[in-house]
Structure 1
Amino acid sequence: MLNTERPSAQHRELDRYADERLIAALVDDQRHAVAAVAAAQTDLARAVEAAVPRLRGGGRLVYVGAGTSGRLGLLDSVELPPTFSWPPQRALALLAGGQRAMFEAIEGAEDRADQGALDIDRLPVNKQDVVLLIAASGTTPYVIGALRAARRRGALTIALANNPGTPIVMEADIGIVLDTGSEVISGSTRLKAGTAQKIALNTLSSAMMVRLNKVFGNLMVDVNPSNAKLYRRALDLTIGATGCSEDLARTTLEACGCRVKVAIVAILGDLGVAEAATRLDGVDGSVRAALNRRPIR
């Protein structure tokens, strides 16, 4: 029996707990999710190291999953464009059952290995792409079909599963095990197994974006200020990185189309926004490298 499906030895009378004790049991069990991701840090780092050159060369991030795992992958994919100005056409998600499965359970869709392969072929995935395959069980046919098709096409395959020794972990180029064990509500992998997947996906994609020069220090300097909240964030990031006044930050951002990295380089490097943008283009968007080319005031 898979670890995630094994009945938990704890809380056998969970349904009889008073509310406070019930909440405490559910919250406490989530702590194992963090521990499971921490135990996988070496493999997570290997995945980032392998993925970044392909992404730098124009590859796409393709998330594949079913049910909770698929929805978590889609969530990670849609957050990359506003957070890091990652092109939306390079952050794709495949769900068993199609996009409708985001909002309702499409029973039986996860059992279609042939559909997983077909969805990969329809993109089509290529050798520059990075395919993230997510399945708590590690045995989901739809995900296995997608994995095998992606490998045939030469893509880098990275698997996330909550059970060791399972097909997607063993067959992927890099298999990452998030061994969360049995669930407090037995078999409900939307609980700590899903939490561990969310943490791991956040960690992977954020680390990739750091390596792709989307971050300066620990500041999210490639944000796409597409609404009032994000415009305010762009202002605060510019001020925080440069120590300039709000007026100068606002004027510079308006002059460069609200590109925070350009504003930072222009202000710290005492440059016009056009020259700041050119310098960034010449160093693959690295704020630090662009600034090192000219003494800072």
Structure 2
Amino acid sequence: MLRRPWLPPGRWFVIGVPEFFLFVFLLLPFLILLKISFSHADAVGVGFEPLISWLEEGTLSIKLHFDAYLSVMQDDVYLLTYLSSVGYALLTTLLCLVIGYPFAYFLAQSFPTLRPVMLMLIMLPFWTPFLIRIYAWKNILDANGLLNQFLLWAGIVDEPLQLMFTKFSFMVGMVYGYIPFMILPLYSNLVKLDRRLLEAAADLGARPWQRFWLVTVPLSREGILAGSLLVFIPAVGEYVIPELLGGISILNIGRMMWNEFFINLDWQRAAAVTMLMVLIILFPIWLFNRYQMRLMEARR
């Protein structure tokens, strides 16, 4: 008979605290939203009658209301909003990868004495609240902002450009806000790259761009996938950046959830919108875990 290995109390404490934190702040709110999404909505909000109850005959009654999910799926506005949010998140991920990969590569190849300073410069913006950093871009991109003032002073334009509340300002804020999440996983992967493989490729006649594309990029695939997930997942449901920089022309699921929760007070539909967004986010996570399992099996 197999016995479970005995763990000292200190190790149980170390394991239990994160598990308790995840249960209270992740699983429990998720279950509450799931319950609300299947609850009955009345004229003023959500009726919190129990979904599972015992009848007088001793039978178990389960009442699940799918009207919120049906209304969301039958409304083209929600479909367009989901597609728009996923599209913007993919574009943000691609731009962060294109901009962040050369920076991470340069950082990994730099002198070891310079790496801590450059890493600190990447993480320095995190010392400032996210809302203040995004709001600062309004002072840069506004009609009377720093960028337009510089363009007018340099004689490049004759009148201020409309930069705020456009797709341009929205994507600038998204890339600025999430590019550190791309750089750090890439750096941690590239800094462990075995230089002997590049030297072997050079001895076999590979040119610099061939060594980069055929050796460096495949070996940094895990960093690319990890960074892409860290950018894509929060970018799908982002609310602050489209609200401050995007304007009403940007269809975003985060703003849709806010409107349903706090303006329309339709908690049932808002919870259903949230659950569907969670399903969208779980799909790339499942693909990444599947890739990781295959990679681990290949290394055995």
Structure 1 or 2: larger strand share?
1
Larger RCO (CA within 8 A; separation ≥ 6)? 2
Structure possessing the higher radius of gyration over alpha carbons: 2
Structure 1 or 2: larger helix share?
2
TM-score normalised by structure 1 residue count: 0.29
TM-score normalised by structure 2 residue count: 0.29
